[in-house]
Amino acid sequence: MARGTGTVEAVPRTGGGPPGGGIGGAAVDAGPPPPAQQLRDRETWRVSLRRHWRLYTFVVLPVIFLLVFRYVPMIGNVIAFRRYRPGGSMFGDEWVGLYYFQMFIQSKPFWDVFWNTVVLGGLTLLICFPLPIILALLLNELRSRLFKRVVQTITYLPHFMSIVIVAGMVFQLTAINGTINQIIEGFGGEAIPFMQRADWFRTIYLTSEVWQTVGWGTILYLAALTTIDDQLYEASRIDGANRWQQTWHITLPGIRPTMMVLLILNIGTFMAVGFEKVLLLYNPLTYDTADVLSTYLYRVGIGEGGNYSFAAAIGLFEALIGVALVVTANQISKRAVGASLW
């Protein structure tokens, strides 16, 4: 195009190919950045490190914590393939390969606790994941700030209670002469030994889990709701959308990335059902439905059996399942909704 004029000059093409660059018009891959660009990137990183070194020092302690308490202990997984004897080498005395993996695969108690873990983890995910979303949407619709703060305080408070206190409250409520049985007897019924019956354990566990975690889980969703542009709601009201239509077409899509990230994280901990709470609530009478992988590992590895190599093999198996679930959920989320952890 000639400068100062409004005319367009024809530019001849050579090679006879279609426009678009490359051979035959195909786009040419830029490939890796040139060495000069890589050098500039390194210089930019060095300048940033020198300029903001005080901020980077805050990362030192968390990194050290992760290395010492998360990554270094992974070396101990080697005893899943070696026979460990107390008093011997910390990495085991004898290589046994997959012996302990075959041992728990052929063990009936293992599969009983494995399916208990799947059922309890699945119910926890199915019930405890959507409830914070629902509570956040309900709180977002409240107009009274005072009432909203009161509800938030009441629902957040159980999260700050120790699991020991929560378990004690559960025992107090479900005891033979506890509050629930007093209400049942008041209506003419008979007292139920809740904590001695295996068929009641999952209901009691899920109820206490909902009470303790749902209020705290709404914090992230309420924060995500504040990022939605108010102009979208104003435009929808002009178009005649009601509150339900605004929630379905604006609010839920607006917090969908947060929902998917939290769902992936929850799926990653699918097999790691709350060890402390189950350990405090269960007893030999409820093992049929209450015993999960983490409590089974505790008993065979530290409590009754002292078989560290066997427990390490089961723990490694559980960790691999968790990694596979996270990777699978991440890929499905990336392809389905475009939100993922990486």
Closest CA to 327 of 315, 339, 313, 342: 342
- Does residue 275 sit within a domain? yes
CA–CA gap between residue 11 and residue 47 (Å, rounded): 44
pLDDT at 6 over 80: no
**From the CB of residue 32, how many other CB atoms can be counted at a distance below 10 Å?**
8
Q: What does the pLDDT look like over 106-131, one tens digit per residue?
A: 888 889 999 999 999 999 999 999 99
* Residue bearing the bigger pLDDT, 38 or 49: 49
- Does residue 232 sit within a domain? yes
- Does residue 163 sit within a domain? yes
Helix 130-141 and helix 108-128, axial crossing angle in degrees, nearest 10: 10
- Does residue 10 sit within a domain? no
For residue 146, the domain's CATH number is 1.10.3720.10
Q: How confident is the model at residue 50 (pLDDT cuts 50, 70, 90)?
A: confident
Q: What does the pLDDT look like over 253-263, one tens digit per residue?
A: 999 988 988 88
Domain count, the chain: 2
Q: Name residue 83's beta-bridge partners.
A: 94
Same domain, 276 and 194: yes
Same domain, 65 and 171: no
Domain boundary among 48, 80, 112: 80
- Does residue 9 sit within a domain? no
pLDDT at 305 over 80: no
Which residue type does 171 have?
A: F
**What domain range is 151 assigned to?**
99-336
Rg, Å, the chain Cα set:
29
Same domain, 225 and 135: yes
**For residue 173, with 0-12 CB atoms within 10 Å meaning exposed, 13-18 middle and 19 or more buried, which class applies?**
middle
Same domain, 156 and 265: yes
Mean pLDDT of the 281-286 span: 90
pLDDT at 4 over 80: no
- Does residue 85 sit within a domain? no
Q: What does the pLDDT look like over 56-103, one tens digit per residue?
A: 888 899 999 999 998 998 888 898 999 888 777 878 888 888 999 998
In this prediction, residue 274 carries a pLDDT of 79
Same domain, 135 and 258: yes
* Residue bearing the bigger pLDDT, 41 or 126: 126
Largest CA distance in the chain: 97
Same domain, 109 and 74: no
Same domain, 61 and 143: no
**For residue 103, with 0-12 CB atoms within 10 Å meaning exposed, 13-18 middle and 19 or more buried, which class applies?**
middle
- Does residue 251 sit within a domain? yes
Domain boundary among 46, 80, 114: 80
CA–CA gap between residue 99 and residue 268 (Å, rounded): 27
Same domain, 104 and 55: no
Plot region of 122 (φ>0 → left; ψ -120 to 50 → alpha; else → beta):
alpha
Same domain, 241 and 274: yes
Same domain, 57 and 184: no
- Does residue 88 sit within a domain? no
User: Phi first, then psi: what are they for 82, rounded to 5°?
Assistant: -130, 150
- Listed in sequence order, the residues at least 6 apart from 315 whose beta carbon sits closer than 8 Å to its beta carbon are 77, 80, 297
Same domain, 45 and 177: no
Same domain, 155 and 239: yes
pLDDT at 1 over 60: no
Task: Give me the chain's average pLDDT, please.
Answer: 83
Plot region of 258 (φ>0 → left; ψ -120 to 50 → alpha; else → beta):
alpha
Can you give the pTM of this predicted structure?
0.77
In this prediction, residue 268 carries a pLDDT of 81
Q: How confident is the model at residue 2 (pLDDT cuts 50, 70, 90)?
A: very low
